[in-house]
Amino acid sequence: MGLPDRSEDLRRVAAVREHLGDGVPLMVDANQQWDRPTALRVGRALEEFDLVWIEEPLDAYDVEGHAELARSLTTAVATGEMLTSVAEHYELIRAGAVDVLQPDAPRVGGITQFLKLATLADHHHLQLAPHFAMEIHVHLAAAYPREPWVEHFDWLHPLFNERLETRDGRMHLSDRPGLGITLADQTRAWTVETATTDAPR
């Protein structure tokens, strides 16, 4: 989504919905391409397709605009992947500007900060759909008390010796230690530069 020609956006969604049928979950991602009037107009036009959510319809930091949109649409609004702190996510939550929170653990400061966000999201009865880095997020999502979504990207597969197991649309946690992945030899081949520093005194 997010093309200059909104009719082409709608045509594409209609084609995908027709191909998948009514029983398959479908989401769209506008990648922050719309202004507020466009997001409302397109969001209303998308209601007929029974979407799970509309992702990033507005600028990631437009809390007020997301709140207005969330109040105006029956389709859930998903956002948060670009934010870099618990405080920024909390502004979305506090304003009622998000239905599906999409934090990114590496962006927000790691696992501890992510777990703080997950607690806030659960307290406000929100869905959770972590952004990217499925190798980390599948574990964090599994700890969420409401059934979450986890994005699947295979771009990072060459970095690891192991693969996440996916069956019937669900990711399965491994019983290996830690995150259950180890770096592949290929990562050394891609290393461009290394540096060594002395320990602080």
Per-residue model confidence as pLDDT tens digits over 51-74: 999 999 999 999 999 999 999 999
CATH architecture of 6-154: Alpha-Beta Barrel (3.20)
SS (HEC) of 73-86 = CCCEEEECCCCCCH
Ordered by start, the domain boundaries in the chain are 6-154
Q: What is the pLDDT along the chain (201 residues), one digit of tens a residue?
A: 999 999 999 999 999 999 999 989 999 999 999 999 999 999 999 999 999 999 999 999 999 999 999 999 999 999 999 999 999 999 999 999 999 999 999 999 999 999 999 999 999 999 999 999 888 899 999 999 999 999 988 888 888 998 888 888 898 998 899 888 898 988 888 888 888 888 777
The enclosing H or E element of 9 equals: helix 6-20
Per-residue model confidence as pLDDT tens digits over 5-17: 999 999 999 999 9
Closest by Cα among 157, 150, 158 to 134: 150
Q: How far apart are CA 22 and CA 4, in angstroms?
A: 27
